[in-house]
Chains A and B, each alone.
Chain A
Amino acid sequence: MKLTAPEVLKYAGDLLGKLARDLTISDWHVVIEVAAEDLPEVALRLRDDKRLSCKYLSTIIGVDYEEWMETLYMLRSQDHSVPVRLRVKLDREQPEVPSVAYIWSGANWHEREAYDFFGIQFQGHPDLRHILTREDMDSFPLRKDARPHRKRRRSGQVTGMDEAVRLPGEPDRRERS
């Protein structure tokens, strides 16, 4: 069964009804915009539907647009080759979105990565901690307002990095520079 992007778009529109805020085709991907609170419901419907059957979550992407933040869920089905992309807009000051780790097991680590880089809080995530950066990292590096480590050190702000690198009894190198 091969579906085209307009067919998937129409079918997803029928399936989701009012849950989908916006449905578009961008570059042969079907992009569905949903509200953060509706995400688990939409995800479950897309995964369990017989025709769309989006059983494969490719990745979760965080984007910081300065005015708002976004998480994107790249979905795909084995039965038709039209990728489906879920788009959730988040408040930049308090980025929170329900976790989908119980819907796709692979989402677990992708959500940890988005938390690591953007500070997006995935509510209900089983194990939300840093994955690629240090455990005591106190800033979210891919946010547009994140400042490089060196500049922060010049300005006298203490970071977790400086404290952790220093061994007990070793002089504080920050005082010299």
Chain B
Amino acid sequence: MTAAEGTTGPSSSILHLEEMVLNMGPQHPSTHGVLRLVLHLDGEMLISVDPVLGYLHRGFEKLAENRTYLQYLAMISRLDYLSGIFMEWSYVRSVEALMEIEVPKRAEYIRVIIGELNRIISHHVAIGDFMLNLGAVTPFFWVFRDREDVMDLLEMVTGQRMMYNFMRVGGVRWDLPEDFEAGCRKFLKEFPGRIDEYEQLITENEIFLSRTWGMGIIKPYEALDYGISGPNARASGVDWDLRREVGYSVYPEFDFDVPLGQHGDCFDRYKCRIEEMRQSVRIVEQALDSLCGGPVNLKLPPMLRPPAGDLYRAVESPRGEFGVYLVSKGGLRPWRLKLRDPTFSAISMIPKLTPGYKIADVVAIAGSLDLLMGGVDR
């Protein structure tokens, strides 16, 4: 069955002319990796879209079954390479819960600090790429200039710019270096002003508004129906943030808002990310203030052997609910590891969102959803 039969979008014209099939991707620059969209077009109007996945499939779930718990930690941040900390976080949380390990308090604060910094740079890329999709090149350089500052901070702590491999079962790898706090506070002081700069450049831009205002609207019930989470769902007004609802790690101690959108269009999704960056700054500031002394990890043997059992642990990654379902049979290796990626659900919404729009708007809608194929294809 072709996609054209499966979806019923609003028909673009009464005079239905010859249908054209156009491949967008897998190497198209606005598909954020290797997503292939098979577009069925009537002139420039879209009749239906069929996303084709799997170009980046690396078998992460199968590889987990052949590695020890610690070995797998080294690869999991390759999954969603822009927010690797959250992949590691959700994985170590599931192993810790299975082994009933209590993580030292200082380690939890460090996790939150690193995680929120990672959220900032992930949103940097989301906004920069989105603007690039719309044809605006300047914001891309502005966000990447600031992203470099955060990357320096993360490199100072973890030794890596992207694939951190920083979380450990029972804590984190190292303590923060001495000059980290001063550098981080300097950044946090400057950064809100830079967010204002982005807003001056983007938010009130006439072209940007006309390209995004009222485009690709996701209704709240649709967001739930399709399993959309994170900023994409919050832009539609779905008031759900795992950091607040589940309150994992030390998040309940911090005071932060969950930004919500009203219309669920491309503009709200952009705006939600901007606001989340401001909230991340608040969280990191509070975490630095309440950072306590003590050990940063538990000295655990390299061969972990969690007891038999199964559980699911999720974290609020920059793209939404990233979850790990772990089944152990008491051996050295996981019996089954399932990775729940938020972007997978977001892409499944594209065939519903895009029919009736023009090709350029498909690029805008896909960009606003902040797609990243590394996590989708696994």
- Which residues of A line the B interface, CB within 8 A? 26-27, 29, 55-59, 61, 63-64, 72, 74, 78, 81, 83, 85, 104-106, 108-110, 113, 117, 126-127, 130-134, 141-142
State whether A127 touches B6 (Cβ < 8 A).
yes
- In the bound complex, residues from chain A placing their C-beta under 8 Å from that of B344 are 109-110, 113
State whether A109 touches B345 (Cβ < 8 A).
yes
Determine the distance from Cα of A74 to Cα of B322 in the docked complex, in whole angstroms.
13
State whether A55 touches B225 (Cβ < 8 A).
yes
| 3 closest cross-chain pairs (CB), A and B | A106-B227, A59-B340, A109-B348
Given the known A-B contacts A81-B246, A105-B226, are A117 and B53 also in contact in the complex, defined by CB atoms under 8 Å?
Answer: no
Other-chain contact of B348, A106, A130, A134 (Cβ < 8 Å): A106
State whether B221 touches A131 (Cβ < 8 A).
no
- In the bound complex, residues from chain A placing their C-beta under 8 Å from that of B340 are 58-59, 74
- In the bound complex, residues from chain B placing their C-beta under 8 Å from that of A106 are 225-228, 345, 348
Asked if B45 CB lies within 8 Å of chain A CBs, one says no
Given A74-B323, A127-B6, 19 more A-B residue pairs with CB atoms under 8 Å apart are A27-B97, A55-B224, A56-B229, A58-B227, A83-B312, A104-B227, A105-B222, A105-B348, A106-B228, A106-B348, A108-B348, A109-B344, A126-B1, A127-B1, A131-B54, A132-B54, A132-B377, A133-B57, A142-B336
Other-chain contact of A142, B61, B97, B228, B314 (Cβ < 8 Å): B61
Determine the distance from Cα of A59 to Cα of B6 in the docked complex, in whole angstroms.
22
Q: Which residue of B lies closest to A126 (CB)?
A: B6
Main DSSP-derived SS at the B contact region:
mixed
- In the bound complex, residues from chain B placing their C-beta under 8 Å from that of A104 are 225-227
Q: How far is the CB of A137 from chain B (nearest CB, A)?
A: 10
Q: How far is the CB of B66 from chain A (nearest CB, A)?
A: 10
Q: How far is the CB of B270 from chain A (nearest CB, A)?
A: 23
State whether B54 touches A133 (Cβ < 8 A).
yes
Other-chain contact of B323, A27, A55, A59, A132 (Cβ < 8 Å): A59
State whether B227 touches A63 (Cβ < 8 A).
no
State whether B312 touches A74 (Cβ < 8 A).
yes
State whether B59 touches A61 (Cβ < 8 A).
no
State whether A78 touches B225 (Cβ < 8 A).
no
- In the bound complex, residues from chain B placing their C-beta under 8 Å from that of A58 are 227, 229, 314, 321, 323, 340
- In the bound complex, residues from chain A placing their C-beta under 8 Å from that of B1 are 126-127
Asked if B282 CB lies within 8 Å of chain A CBs, one says no
* Bitwise interface map of B from 266 to 299 toward A, beta carbon under 8 Å scored 1, else 0: 0000000000000000000000000000000000
Q: Which residue of B lies closest to A141 (CB)?
A: B62
Other-chain contact of B224, A63, A78, A134 (Cβ < 8 Å): A78
- In the bound complex, residues from chain B placing their C-beta under 8 Å from that of A131 are 53-54
Binds A, one of B163-171, B186-194, B237-245: B237-245
